Protein backbone atom coordinates (compact mmCIF):
# COMPACT_ATOMS: atom_id res chain seq x y z
CA UNK A 1 0.00 0.00 0.00
CA UNK A 2 1.21 3.49 -0.78
CA UNK A 3 0.58 6.29 1.70
CA UNK A 4 1.42 9.97 1.53
CA UNK A 5 3.44 11.10 4.53
CA UNK A 6 3.29 14.79 5.37
CA UNK A 7 6.68 15.90 6.63
CA UNK A 8 6.80 18.79 9.13
CA UNK A 9 9.10 21.71 8.38
CA UNK A 10 11.50 20.80 11.19
CA UNK A 11 12.20 17.35 9.67
CA UNK A 12 12.34 18.36 6.00
CA UNK A 13 16.07 19.17 5.83
CA UNK A 14 16.93 15.63 7.01
CA UNK A 15 14.38 14.09 4.63
CA UNK A 16 15.32 15.68 1.34
CA UNK A 17 13.33 18.89 1.75
CA UNK A 18 10.01 17.53 0.50
CA UNK A 19 6.74 18.39 2.24
CA UNK A 20 5.20 15.05 1.24
CA UNK A 21 6.79 11.65 0.60
CA UNK A 22 5.13 8.54 -0.87
CA UNK A 23 5.94 5.49 1.26
CA UNK A 24 5.02 1.80 0.96
CA UNK A 25 3.73 -0.11 3.98
CA UNK A 26 0.67 -1.74 5.55
CA UNK A 27 1.18 -0.44 9.11
CA UNK A 28 2.48 2.74 10.71
CA UNK A 29 5.49 0.75 11.88
CA UNK A 30 6.35 -0.34 8.34
CA UNK A 31 5.96 3.22 7.09
CA UNK A 32 8.23 4.63 9.80
CA UNK A 33 10.86 1.93 9.28
CA UNK A 34 10.84 2.70 5.55
CA UNK A 35 11.28 6.42 6.28
CA UNK A 36 14.14 5.80 8.72
CA UNK A 37 15.83 3.40 6.31
CA UNK A 38 15.71 5.98 3.54
CA UNK A 39 16.49 8.92 5.86
CA UNK A 40 18.50 7.55 8.83
CA UNK A 41 19.10 11.01 10.32
CA UNK A 42 15.48 11.13 11.56
CA UNK A 43 15.34 7.70 13.18
CA UNK A 44 15.82 9.00 16.73
CA UNK A 45 13.04 11.54 16.24
CA UNK A 46 10.53 8.96 14.99
CA UNK A 47 11.33 5.69 16.76
CA UNK A 48 12.84 4.55 20.04
CA UNK A 49 15.64 1.97 20.05
CA UNK A 50 13.07 -0.78 20.70
CA UNK A 51 11.05 0.20 17.59
CA UNK A 52 8.20 1.93 19.42
CA UNK A 53 6.96 5.41 18.58
CA UNK A 54 9.03 8.20 20.06
CA UNK A 55 6.96 9.71 22.86
CA UNK A 56 7.32 13.24 21.50
CA UNK A 57 6.02 12.29 18.04
CA UNK A 58 2.34 12.53 17.23
CA UNK A 59 1.26 10.47 14.22
CA UNK A 60 -2.08 10.74 12.49
CA UNK A 61 -3.67 8.61 9.78
CA UNK A 62 -6.29 10.66 7.97
CA UNK A 63 -6.54 12.98 11.02
CA UNK A 64 -6.97 10.09 13.50
CA UNK A 65 -4.34 9.71 16.24
CA UNK A 66 -2.59 6.34 15.86
CA UNK A 67 -2.53 5.92 19.63
CA UNK A 68 -6.24 5.09 19.31
CA UNK A 69 -5.81 2.99 16.17
CA UNK A 70 -3.26 0.48 17.43
CA UNK A 71 -0.10 2.55 17.71
CA UNK A 72 2.78 1.20 15.66
CA UNK A 73 0.48 -1.58 14.43
CA UNK A 74 -2.19 0.83 13.13
CA UNK A 75 -3.18 -0.28 9.63
CA UNK A 76 -2.47 1.80 6.56
CA UNK A 77 -4.36 1.38 3.29
CA UNK A 78 -3.63 2.67 -0.18
CA UNK A 79 -4.09 6.43 -0.38
CA UNK A 80 -3.99 7.14 3.36
CA UNK A 81 -2.47 10.42 4.44
CA UNK A 82 -0.09 10.19 7.38
CA UNK A 83 0.90 13.30 9.28
CA UNK A 84 3.98 13.44 11.51
CA UNK A 85 3.89 16.11 14.21
CA UNK A 86 6.87 16.30 16.58
CA UNK A 87 5.95 17.87 19.89
CA UNK A 88 7.41 21.31 20.42
CA UNK A 89 8.50 22.33 23.89
CA UNK A 90 9.27 25.74 25.24
CA UNK A 91 7.48 28.96 25.95
CA UNK A 92 7.66 31.91 28.26
CA UNK A 93 9.26 31.66 31.65
What are the pLDDT digits (tens) for 8-62? Answer: 999 999 999 999 999 999 999 999 999 999 999 999 999 999 999 999 999 999 9
pTM exceeds 0.85, yes or no: yes
- Domains recognised in the chain with CATH numbers: 2-86 (3.10.20.30)
Is it the case that residue 88 has pLDDT exceeding 70? yes
The answer to whether 32 and 46 have CB atoms below 8 angstroms apart is yes
The SS3 assignment for 85 reads strand
Q: What share of the chain is helix, strand, coil (3-state, %, to 5)?
A: 35, 30, 40
The answer to whether 31 and 82 have CB atoms below 8 angstroms apart is yes
pLDDT of residue 91: 56
Amino acid sequence: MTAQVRIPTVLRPAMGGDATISVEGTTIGEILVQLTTTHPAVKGQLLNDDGTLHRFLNVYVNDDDVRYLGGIDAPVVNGDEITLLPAVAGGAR
